Structure 1
């Protein structure tokens, strides 16, 4: 399973989307478009992504644009994975 697919699974789990996350593509809007993604859910999502991938996000990396789409969220995760592998 690639990183993108794993991000979709974590997103689905953290937001209790009951499988809807599997239908998302990179352009699917998140923040402001998914009622499940409120401020508390953002914290849960960050925590689940960190736990799942064994990474830690820097505070300065976490801003609204990161949560704009599935693609932007995936890019943040990939960036952190790349940082941890070097």
Structure 2
């Protein structure tokens, strides 16, 4: 396994655990998320208040810094978008 694959799978696992914890989804629902799974507006647990908590937890758990100008609505449309953003931050 290459470093980028292991980093991506590590980010994926961390992000799923984060969403399970922050949104109260539970491990099974978080594990069932696909790249096309809707988040903001699709999951009742993922509301505007949850956005700030998710971002803060991403910074803490992934060891990244997220600037305000990096955030737009598209990031929270699907799990795949959120994962891609998190992976870019971790590997970039």
Q: Above 0.5 in TM-score?
A: yes
Unaligned runs of 5+ in 2: 1-8
**Which of the numbers 16, 22, 25 marks the counterpart of 1:17?**
25
By percentage of residues, which structure has more helix?
A: 2
Deviations 1:5-53 (A, max 9, x none): 2211111111111221111111111011001011111111111111001
Q: Counterparts of 1:59 and 1:47 in 2: how far apart (Å)?
A: 12
**Residues matched between the structures, number:** 83
Q: CA deviation at 1:2?
A: 2.2
TM-score (norm 1): 0.89
Give the equivalent residue in structure 2 for 1:2: 10
Structural RMSD (CA): 1.1
**Which of the numbers 31, 44, 58 marks the counterpart of 1:35?**
44
Unaligned runs of 5+ in 1: none
Q: Counterparts of 2:49 and 2:58 in 1: how far apart (Å)?
A: 14
- Whichever of the two has the greater Rg, that structure is 2
